[in-house]
Amino acid sequence: WRASYLWLVSSFSELYCWCGCGQSVKNPQNPVKFHPEFVPEIHPFLGFDLCGIESSIQSRWVFTAPIGDLAEVCVRVVAMARLVVVIVAVAMAAWWAVAAVEGLGINWGTQATHPLPPKAVVQLLKDNGIAKVKLFDTDFAAMSALAGSGVEVMVAIPNKDLATMASDYGNAKDWVKKNVKRFDFDGGVTIKYVAVGNEPFLKAYNGSFINITLPALQNVQNALNDAGIGDRIKATVPLNADVYESTVPSAGRFRPEIAGLMTDIVKFLAKNNAPFTVNIYPFLSLYLDEHFPINFAFFDGGSTPVNDGGIMYTNVFDANFDTLVAALKAVGHGDMPIIVGEVGWPTDGDKNARVDLAQRFYAGLLKRLAANVGTPARPNQYIEMYLFGLVDEDMKSVAPGSFERHWGVLRYDGQPKFAMDLAGQGRNTMLVPAKGIEYLPKTWCVINTNAKDVSKLGDNINFACTYADCTPLGFGSSCNGMDTNGNASYAFNAYFQAQSQKEEACNFQGLAVPTETDPTTAQCNFTIQIKSSAAAAAAAPVAAGVVVAALAQLLLLW
């Protein structure tokens, strides 16, 4: 009897089994190529050690057995592996049985001081039956967590990298190798799309990306093609809905100043069987126009329809979508697949950014998606779309508006904000919350009511709100209307939590003190941050740097 090893590697598609003695298994004839970026780890599973990549879809079992029994052990282990494959398949089927409506995905943004752990997010997606996710980069932790999950992924190249992609085809090839091919293997990440930039033609960018977006798109798609994966992974450009315009949907055309460029982009997408991706925000129609009929932003009627040659439009989403259909038709590609890359409703930061309105919007949207209503221009068909977004992000720019940090259907900690039936059946159900989330101690930072000198209160509020999220204090927001002490306490606590409750983060020249008494009111929630290994608390210099004096003065007046 001698110690021998039997190695088995299983996947959904194939099984391998080979035997060897002692160290002879170091060079088997048919070695399994584990991806170098994934480090094996030991898991207790069904009574024996399972050593495999994080996805656990492709796995390696290690057994010891007497040499004479190797053949019998091999047969038994193969049978066990097949059983495991069946069990996993049944589990996957159970997951999809409770999946969200067809074509539904969600945007996963991470611009937060304390982002949720990636593994918790992936489990959250699975628990809620969300089969697709759209990223804004290719963060390694997120990609690793998605490996083997079965969740379809749209990865992204940020706008800041478009020039690099456009300037040299070699850069695009390197990017595809590092960020797509790296994760493209059995049990890896199911990448379906590569988003080249994000809304690069926004008028606010003043043409910064006009000349580089198409070359970047071409180089990335060609790199995907040359890598042998372009037939199943497509490059696309998520565009804002302001790239087209019209008074009625049927007359939709691309904006005159970019019409030629948009035509070239559409032709390239069509050549590669890639979809057109657009972000549609009914909320912004309401936010940007005080005379916009509020009911036209929703799907439950109550607004005067728009008559387009006898076709009645009862909501702005349909009208917007069909304006794009008409614009595509005008350049010869009226049947091009359209993905709605972002659609949603914020819950704070504006008088119309409210939980009740977000719930109303999503209820109507999901009901229509479940019924495959389509739009007047494309009736009776499902629309592939990604909700925006998964969780609130307290580090997003507020240049477009204070609501930018409150798009999540979940709170910063992965807890649901309101009832939401992703199956579109109108049930009064809550999303499954994130699991295993740990919080910082129940300690808040509030104004020191015994402070003798409050002359620098405004400066300190400025400082806190420069490095933390004070948007709930704004006009029409959830914490609007508190007195000066309440505003100061909210600002101080927001900063204290953003800095992971560091002791020195609750002083503010003697104007603040820590407390274990929750200052939350019926109107305003004072948060406790979560523990996060990726906590990215904004570095706060001794001086405030750029401050928001107007905000501080406004808060002091309330």
pLDDT at residue number 305: 96
435 in a structural domain: no
pLDDT tops 70 at residue 432: yes
Q: Which has the minimum average pLDDT: 68-82, 204-218, 273-287?
A: 68-82
Give 221-240 pLDDT, tens digit per residue: 999 999 999 999 999 999 99
Across the range 72-87, mean pLDDT stands at 50
* Confidence grade of residue 80 (pLDDT, cut at 50, 70, 90): low
pLDDT at residue number 103: 80
More confident residue, 543 or 214: 214
428 in a structural domain: no
How far is 361 from 58, CA to CA, in rounded Å? Answer: 41
Q: Are residues 75 and 117 in the same domain?
A: no
More confident residue, 331 or 7: 331
pLDDT tops 80 at residue 75: no
CATH number at residue 314: 3.20.20.80
With beta carbons less than 8 A apart as the criterion, state whether 237 and 196 touch: yes
Domain end call among 95, 114, 143: 95
419 in a structural domain: no
Kind of pairing between the strands at 512-515 and 444-447: antiparallel
How far is 125 from 132, CA to CA, in rounded Å? Answer: 8
Active-site option among 199, 384, 393, 404: 199
Q: Are residues 453 and 400 in the same domain?
A: no
With beta carbons less than 8 A apart as the criterion, state whether 447 and 489 touch: yes
Beta partners for residue 338, in sequence order: 276
b/e code 195-234 from CB counts within 10 Å (16+ = b): bbbbbbbbeeeeeebeebbbbbbbbbbbbbeeeebbeebb
Q: Are residues 284 and 334 in the same domain?
A: yes
Beta partners for residue 446, in sequence order: 513
Neighbours of 517 (CB within 10 A): 9
Q: Are residues 209 and 267 in the same domain?
A: yes
Whose structure tokens read 């979508």?
Answer: 321
With beta carbons less than 8 A apart as the criterion, state whether 223 and 175 touch: yes
Domain end call among 69, 95, 121: 95
pLDDT tops 60 at residue 60: no
Across the range 438-447, mean pLDDT stands at 98
pLDDT at residue number 534: 59
pLDDT at residue number 532: 82
49 in a structural domain: yes
* Confidence grade of residue 554 (pLDDT, cut at 50, 70, 90): very low
Total-model pTM: 0.81
Give 279-322 pLDDT, tens digit per residue: 999 999 999 999 999 999 999 988 999 999 999 999 999 999 99
35 in a structural domain: yes
pLDDT at residue number 47: 31
Q: Are residues 188 and 206 in the same domain?
A: yes
How far is 533 from 470, CA to CA, in rounded Å? Answer: 24
Length of the chain: 558
Across the range 411-423, mean pLDDT stands at 98
Give 20-58 pLDDT, tens digit per residue: 333 333 344 444 443 444 433 333 332 333 333 333 333
Number of domains forming the structure of the chain: 3
Across the range 427-438, mean pLDDT stands at 97
More confident residue, 513 or 51: 513
* Confidence grade of residue 98 (pLDDT, cut at 50, 70, 90): low
432 in a structural domain: no
Say whether 199 is catalytic: yes
67 in a structural domain: yes
- Outline where DSSP puts E strands in 295-388: 306-308, 311-313, 338-343, 384-387
Token pair for 390: 């998964």
Amino acid letter for position 301: G
Say whether 404 is catalytic: no
Region of residue 73 (left: phi > 0; alpha: psi -120 to 50; beta: else): alpha
Dihedral sign, CA of 370, 375, 377, 383? negative
pLDDT at residue number 412: 98
Chain centroid to CA 311: 35
Q: Are residues 66 and 107 in the same domain?
A: no
Domain end call among 95, 119, 149: 95
pLDDT at residue number 99: 62
pLDDT at residue number 82: 53
Chain centroid to CA 434: 14
Q: Which has the minimum average pLDDT: 59-73, 108-122, 184-198, 479-493?
A: 59-73
Q: Are residues 448 and 345 in the same domain?
A: no
How far is 180 from 139, CA to CA, in rounded Å? Answer: 12
How far is 213 from 166, CA to CA, in rounded Å? Answer: 7
Chain centroid to CA 100: 16
Across the range 163-192, mean pLDDT stands at 98
How far is 213 from 217, CA to CA, in rounded Å? Answer: 6
Q: Are residues 154 and 210 in the same domain?
A: yes
Please state whether the peptide bond connecting residue 458 to the residue before it is cis, i.e. omega within 30 degrees of 0. no
pLDDT tops 90 at residue 217: yes
The C-alpha torsion from 185 through 189 and 194 to 200, rounded to 10°, is -150
Q: Are residues 224 and 362 in the same domain?
A: yes
What percentage of the chain reaches a pLDDT higher than 90?
Answer: 76
Q: Are residues 245 and 327 in the same domain?
A: yes
Across the range 47-71, mean pLDDT stands at 38
pLDDT at residue number 391: 99
Q: Which domain holds residue 543?
A: 444-557
Q: Are residues 278 and 363 in the same domain?
A: yes
pLDDT at residue number 287: 98
Amino acid letter for position 509: Q
* Confidence grade of residue 78 (pLDDT, cut at 50, 70, 90): very low
Active-site option among 54, 342, 393, 404: 342
Burial class (CB in 10 A: 0-12, 13-18, 19+), 36: exposed
Mean pLDDT of the chain: 85
The C-alpha torsion from 187 through 192 and 198 to 200, rounded to 10°, is 140
More confident residue, 491 or 22: 491
More confident residue, 37 or 213: 213
